[in-house]
Structure 1
Amino acid sequence: MKTAEPALNQSQKATRSRMGNRMKESITGWVFVGIAALLICIFFFYPMIQALILSFQTGKGMNLKFNGLDNYTRLFIDTTFIMAVKNTFIYLLFQVPLMVVLALFISVLLNDRNLKFKGFFRTAIFLPCITSLVAYSVVFKYLFAPDGLVNGMLLGLHVIGTPIQWITDPFWAKITIIIAITWRWTGYNMIFYLSGLQNIDSSIYEAARIDGASAVRQFFSITVPLLKPIILFTSITSTIGTLQLFDEVVNITKGGPGNATTTISQYIYNLSFKYSPDFGYAATVSYSIVIMVIILSFIQFKVAGERNG
Structure 2
Amino acid sequence: MFYPTLYSFYLSFHEWNGIGPRTYVGLSNYAKLFSGGGLFLKSMTNCTIIFFEYVPIMTLGALILASLLNSRYIRLQGVFRTFIFLPYVTAIIAVTYSFQYLLDTNYGMINLFLSWFGIERIAWLNSPTLARICLSSLITWRWLGYNMVLFLAGLQFIPPELYEAAKIDGATPLQSFFHITIPLVKPIIFFCIFLSTIGTFSLFDEPFILTSIGTSTGGGPVNATLSPILLLYNMGFRYLRFGTASAVAYLLFVVLFLCGLFEIKFLGGKR
- Normalised by the length of structure 1, the TM-score is 0.81
Question: Alpha-carbon deviation of 1:128?
Answer: 0.6
SS at match of 2:249: helix
Q: Please report how far the alpha carbon of residue 305 of structure 1 lies from its aligned counterpart in structure 2 after TM superposition.
A: 4.4
Matches within 5 A, 1:56-71: 56-62=13-19, 63-71=21-29
2:114: which partner in 1?
154
| Aligned match for 1:178, one of 136, 145, 152 | 136
State how 1:272-291 maps to structure 2 within 5 Å.
272-275=236-239, 277-291=240-254
Q: Give me the whole-angstrom Cα distance separating, in 2, the residues matched to 1:215 and 1:300.
A: 30
1:97 aligns with 2:97: no
Alignment partner of 1:54 is 2:11: yes
Distance, in Å, in 1 between the alignment partners of 2:234 and 2:88 is: 26
**Partner residue in 1 for 2:215:** none
Provide, for residues 21-64 of structure 1, a one-character-per-residue CA deviation record: whole Å limited to 9, x for no partner: xxxxxxxxxxxxxxxxxxxxx3xx43222222222222322421
Would you identify which runs of 4 or more consecutive aligned residues in structure 1 move more than 3 Å?
Answer: 305-308
Corresponding residue to 1:217 among 175, 200, 204: 175
Q: Secondary structure at the match of 1:60?
A: coil
Identity of aligned residues (%): 40
Matched pairs, number: 262
In structure 2, C-alpha distance between the alignment counterparts of 1:78 and 1:111, rounded to whole Å: 52
Deviation at 1:306, TM superposition (A): 5.4
CA distance in 1, matches of 2:194, 2:24: 34
Residue 307 of structure 1 deviates from its aligned partner by 5.1
- 2:86 is aligned to 127
Task: Determine helix, strand or coil for the equivalent of 1:181.
Answer: helix
Alpha-carbon distance in structure 2 between the residues aligned to 1:225 and 1:47? 42
Rounded to whole Å, the distance in 2 between the matches of 1:100 and 1:78 is 37
| Contact preservation (8 Å) 2:61, 2:144 | yes
1:202 is matched with which residue: 132, 136, 160? 160
- Alpha-carbon offset, residue 267 of structure 1: 0.9
Shift of 1:152: 2.0
- Counterpart residue number, 1:261: 225
- Distance, in Å, in 1 between the alignment partners of 2:36 and 2:92 is 30
In structure 1, distance between residues paired with 2:204 and 2:36: 20
The Cα offsets for residues 172-191 of structure 1, whole Å up to 9 and x where unpaired, read as 11111011011101111111
Tell me how far 1:243 sits from its aligned partner: 0.4
In the TM superposition, what whole-angstrom CA distance separates every residue of 1:85-127 from its partner, at most 9, and x where no partner exists?
2211111121222211111111111111121110011010111
Unaligned runs of 5+ residues in structure 2 are 212-217
CA distance in 1, matches of 2:12, 2:256: 18
Q: CA RMSD in A?
A: 1.6
Instruction: Give 1 or 2 for the bigger CA radius of gyration.
Output: 1
Residue 69 of structure 1 deviates from its aligned partner by 2.2
- 1:25: which partner in 2? none
In structure 2, relative to structure 1, the CA distance for the partners of 1:305 and 1:235 (3 Å cut) is closer
